[in-house]
Structure 1
Amino acid sequence: MSLSFDRHRRLRQTAAIRAMVRETHLRVDDLIYPLFVVEGSGIRREVPSMPGVYHLSLDRLTEEIDEIAKLGIRAVMVFGVPDEKDEVGSQAYCETGIVQRAIRQIKAERSEMVVIADTCLCEYTSHGHCGVVENEQVLNDPSLELLVKTAVSQAQAGADIIAPSNMMDGFVAAIRHGLDEAGFENVPIMSYAIKYASAFYGPFRDAADSAPQFGDRKTYQMDPANRLEAFREAESDIKEGADFLMVKPALAYMDIIRDIKNRFPLPLVAYNVSGEYSMVKAAAQNGWIDEKSVVMEMLTGMKRAGADLIITYFAKDVARWLAE
């Protein structure tokens, strides 16, 4: 019997051949590791809903940064959890705020480390929203003024990249103008351009103590059902001066990552968020999945979808696995 068919398995015969023809590669240089810095001393406290992720006081930050650097991770994103909060989140833009002090410390100890500052107000406001609130409404334009102050203070502290995550209209334009006026025209903006009002953020709000005290964030974060809206958001941010675009979350939004990559030329960041992390950790701890295999497949999928960089709480684990 004579048959004619393609033999695709020829290129799968050995590990060496499979490696030769592999199309998508996950590298340690693709990884950004989030850090949660807190007031106090001697604190390295695990976040209950995020095994392996810690609140760190500044005196414990050095050992963490040293470990990150030794693993070959080149970039960190800094989140702050202040002791004091108020209606306008004043600790977000205070010269001696927790994030500003952390940035200075990291850059003093590891000048080569890329320090990305999350620029938002929710961790710092008593109401937990990402802007100025009046009659339980988040006001857009007054919020921009505070976000600009926050971005400039972070740049003054030495942040290499400003990453605004608030989803206010015009936030990139306002921050770009504010940075330029303050002499930081060379500091890039990594915009949380496409940030959905997602159920996957729960563990982060535990880590950052940033849950809203009333209502939700659906009036400023995007509806998970929407795709075309992502194009409008990305296009606006590019016009306003963004240097990177971000899609958040990543796992349930692979189609959006690919859409944005196909349409826009800027470097694209995927945020592998806390809920995605915690689900995998919980399943692994119960013995239901092989953590390493699942994480590597998941993050490789994000790269295959079009992400150039991945913010992930798995960064240290992945760096170790890649080194193996």
Structure 2
Amino acid sequence: MHFPATRLRRLRRSPTLRGMVRETRLAVEDLIYPLFCIAGRNQRRPIASMPGICQLSVDQAVLEAGSAWQLGIPAVLLFGIPADKDAVGSSGARPDGVVQRAVAAIKEAWPDLLVITDVCLCEYTDHGHCGVIRGGEVDNDATLELLAAQAVSHARAGADMVAPSDMMDGRVAALRAALDAAGYAQLPIMSYAVKYASAFYGPFREAAESAPRFGDRRSYQMDPANRREAHREAELDVAEGADCLIVKPALAYLDILRDLRRRLDLPLVAYNVSGEFAMLKAAAERGWLDHDQVMLESLTGMKRAGADLIITYHAPEAARLLRTR
């Protein structure tokens, strides 16, 4: 038997050689670290379903953001859990809201760290839905004005980017118009353009205290069975002025990420969601998987599928490993 002249194993013989020919590179600069901000002071409340992740008072969020920055992580994504909620999520747009105070404090302490804010009503409403409820349903158009006001309040607090996650039709255009009118034409929008109604969000809803009190979010988040619809969602957000697009969740939707990479040129972001994080933690605790190897393999897979950036709760531990390579 005669082997062909080409032997692919030749370039796999050593770590140095494998590194030199590696096609996909995961870097600390690719990571965005989500933080959950709460009222109070000196508060770090562990989230049972997300080992190592806590709800943080503003002073603790500043410390956590600083630790991320010192590891080389370039950006954080802030979620707010207010002390009081109402039917229209009014606390989300208050100048003294928890996210607004966290933005200002983090930017004062770490001015070069990019601070992105989640824009949605679900954490702020007493019913847990992402918009105003009228006639038992989320009223899309009535919600847009509230989202726009929240985004402008984040911009005034010093946010570097806003990320609408509500999945209302027309929200990117509404935010863009409001930000421009308020003097923030240069502030980019990272849209949750392709957000599926996924069961992988379970731990997040504990973390953000945002589970719906009735029904579910399937009437506005995408059906997990749909692929072509993702193209329409993404293209509409681009047309409305989005600067970056998020695909959420990541691991079960890498085909969607790959599709969008082939169609669009703007930056794509994979959201490595809470359920994906929790599954790996649980398996690793039982000794079923090598935590660090699977974590890096998963994040690399997101990059290989087409992500430019990755939102992940693994960001600090991934950064520590990547810095030693």
Taking structure 2 as the reference length, the TM-score comes to 0.98
| Matching residue's letter, 1:115 | V
| Matching residue's letter, 1:113 | L
What is the deviation of 1:63? 2.0
Instruction: Give the match's secondary structure for 2:55.
Output: strand
Aligned to 2:70: 70
What are the within-5 Å matches in structure 2 for residues 1-324 of structure 1?
2-4=2-4, 6-324=6-324
Instruction: Give the match's secondary structure for 1:128.
Output: coil
Instruction: Give the match's secondary structure for 1:96.
Output: coil
Structure 2 CA distance for partners of 1:144 and 1:4, relative to 1, 3 Å: same
2: distance between equivalents of 1:226 and 1:76?
30
2: distance between equivalents of 1:309 and 1:61?
22
2: distance between equivalents of 1:245 and 1:105?
27
- Equivalent pairs: percent with the same residue? 60
Instruction: Give the match's secondary structure for 2:118.
Output: strand
Q: Which runs of 5+ in 2 are unaligned?
A: none
What is the deviation of 1:158? 0.5
2: distance between equivalents of 1:193 and 1:2?
52
2: distance between equivalents of 1:271 and 1:259?
16
1: distance between equivalents of 2:69 and 2:256?
31
What is the deviation of 1:60? 1.9
Structure 2 CA distance for partners of 1:2 and 1:264, relative to 1, 3 Å: closer
What is the deviation of 1:46? 1.0
1: distance between equivalents of 2:2 and 2:283?
49
Instruction: Give the match's secondary structure for 2:22.
Output: coil
Instruction: Give the match's secondary structure for 1:152.
Output: helix
What is the deviation of 1:231? 0.5
Root-mean-square deviation (CA, aligned residues, Å) is: 0.8
What is the deviation of 1:264? 0.7
What is the deviation of 1:5? 5.7
Given that 2:93 and 2:153 are in contact with CA atoms closer than 8 Å, whether structure 1 keeps it comes out as yes
1: distance between equivalents of 2:285 and 2:142?
45
What is the deviation of 1:136? 1.6
